[in-house]
Amino acid sequence: MTDLLVFAPHPDDAEIHAGASIAAWTRAGRSVVICDATDGALGSRGTVADRAQEAAAAARLLGVAREGLGLPDGGLDESDIGQRNVLVAALRRHRPKTVLAIAPHARHSDHIALGRLAERAVKMAALHNLAPEHGPAVPGLRLWWYEAELPMAAPRFLVPSTEADWQTKLAAIRCYGSQLVRPDGTGPATSIATPEFLTWIEARGRAWGYQAGAAYAEAFDGPEALRLPDLVDR
């Protein structure tokens, strides 16, 4: 049983979009598991082996457990029952108190699909007669979406971050050296591999932090109303 399970479409997404909150929860003694839906094989930069090593380094830095779910990069499909059941199996295996997934308000098709797959899986994991080979049903799970690459217009809530937890987030993102801009400028251009990328992360965190009355904050939404105990006992 774990306190928090985080579904990420690719290695690095959990760190980019929710890394400071994850750092705060592990620092407070909460157990966190990141499940990377895909291995990022279609990424324009780096190899699968690179991404795996980088993800392991980021996990050590954040103090989380991590596993890959083996779903196809570029092929996540919210209507695929088999993919949904892979998420159901993860939920039943880890039996979390709280579930996070990337928001489906996104540009990347894998991000959109994973947010919807997680929404379906949370409900289906509670059905006792669905895929019993994946373990006993997990009733009462609640899902929260963390902000994707497109901004949330009206987040359901903000999680404030300290300077220390924000720096841990940035250090975890920097573990993904294959994806970030290189000093020599080599490698294909991507939205992440630009000098402005970390500046954007910083600006977004400070903007939400201003609204939350903190140095930084991260934004979350969800399909249901927030109950105070839902988000890792906050």
Mean pLDDT (whole number) for 166-181: 93
Q: Which two tokens stand for residue 103?
A: 């928001």
Q: What is the pTM of this model?
A: 0.94
Q: How many Å apart are CA 223 and CA 216, to the nearest integer? A: 24
- Residue 134: inside a domain: yes
- Residue 230: inside a domain: no
pLDDT-derived band at 228 (thresholds 50, 70, 90) equals: low
Q: Which two tokens stand for residue 93?
A: 């295996």
Q: How many Å apart are CA 115 and CA 220, to the nearest integer? A: 12
Mean pLDDT (whole number) for 93-117: 97
CATH number at residue 65: 3.40.50.10320
Residue 234 has pLDDT above 60, yes or no: no
Pick the closest to residue 4 from 105, 70, 91, 126 (CA basis).
91
pLDDT tens, residue by residue, 185-208: 677 778 888 889 999 999 999 999
- Residue 234: inside a domain: no
